[in-house]
Amino acid sequence: MLSDLFSCDFRIRFYEAGPDNRLTLPSMINYIQELAHLHTASQKVGIEDIHEFGLTWVVSRTRLEMEYRPESGDTVRGYIWGGEPQRLLVPRHYIFQSVLTGKTVAKCSTYWLMINLNTHYPALPERYYRPVGTDNEQNAPQTTLTLERISTLPANDPMEIRIGQYHLDSNKHVNNRFYLAFTETWLARKKGRPVDIQSVQINFNSSLEFDDVAICTGELEGNHFRVVGHTLSGNNVFSSAGSL
């Protein structure tokens, strides 16, 4: 049951809504990150806890399926549960619901990595992390999403983005929500109007730091898209794919 899972409420503030006064997808990414942060902290493996071992958490892949976009002023309740590490990857899964209407807002699955802050290489999470409490219960919702590989090959219609201070988070690199914003921006430019992404997966392959330049290219066939970001030297930063 959802009531058995770790949860947190997020009131949708006016700056988290888009031109249609509904919750934006980058704001959903913020909720996903915050819920994961609070969940791991409750298990004593939050970022502050694992910094003691010279480690931090980073997201490797995120898949988000939107079912309903609530309006500003509503409250979104997020539920989270984890799973056993899959070699270097730690899965976490989410369901979000509108408190006002009771509707399911979104479902999400993510893979996380523990990164050594000195070497910047992944660490074996099983040395530090084991799902506890409700994470191991058999009644966790069977709503996990598949996280696939996405082609990193450059595509068409390049869009240049220079990284500013406002893009950066406490890890000193571009926060994950901006890669979804870059995807939306490329698609909106391609369509000539704001877009409404229904389903998206983003694979994070390397990081961008202050004053870096990202070249975003993509392809759009019907409602299906793929957007990729590369550095000026050709290093792939992210790949996203989904549908409008």
Confidence of residue 191 (pLDDT cuts 50, 70, 90): very high
Instruction: Give the range of the structural domain holding residue 30, as residue numbers without chain letter.
Output: 2-136
Final residue in a domain of this structure, among 102, 136, 170 = 136
Structure pTM?
0.89
Bridge partners (DSSP) listed for residue 123: 114
Lowest mean pLDDT among 62-76, 119-133, 207-221: 119-133
The DSSP string of 102-113 is: --EEEEEEEEEE
Same-domain status, 26 and 100 = yes
Confidence of residue 139 (pLDDT cuts 50, 70, 90): low
Question: Is the pLDDT assigned to residue 220 strictly greater than 60?
Answer: yes
Question: Is the pLDDT assigned to residue 119 strictly greater than 80?
Answer: yes
Helix (H, G, I), strand (E, B) or coil at 28: helix
Q: Are 159 and 227 in contact (CB under 8 A)?
A: no
Final residue in a domain of this structure, among 76, 104, 136 = 136
Q: What is the pLDDT of residue 136?
A: 45
Same-domain status, 20 and 129 = yes
Same-domain status, 17 and 132 = yes
Question: Is the pLDDT assigned to residue 214 strictly greater than 60?
Answer: yes
Same-domain status, 83 and 185 = no
Residue 183 inside a domain? The answer is: yes
Q: State how many domains the chain has.
A: 2
Q: Are 186 and 218 in contact (CB under 8 A)?
A: yes
Confidence of residue 123 (pLDDT cuts 50, 70, 90): confident
Question: Is the pLDDT assigned to residue 137 strictly greater than 60?
Answer: no
What is the chain's mean pLDDT, rounded?
90
Contacts 24+ apart (CB under 8 A), 224-231: 225/183, 225/187, 226/150, 226/151, 226/155, 227/155, 227/182, 227/183, 227/186, 227/187, 228/150, 228/151, 228/152, 228/153, 228/154, 228/155, 229/161, 229/179, 229/182, 230/154, 231/206
Q: What is the pLDDT of residue 143?
A: 63
Specify the CATH number for the domain of residue 115.
3.10.129.10
Same-domain status, 131 and 184 = no
Q: What is the pLDDT of residue 141?
A: 64
The two tokens of residue 189 are 């430019």
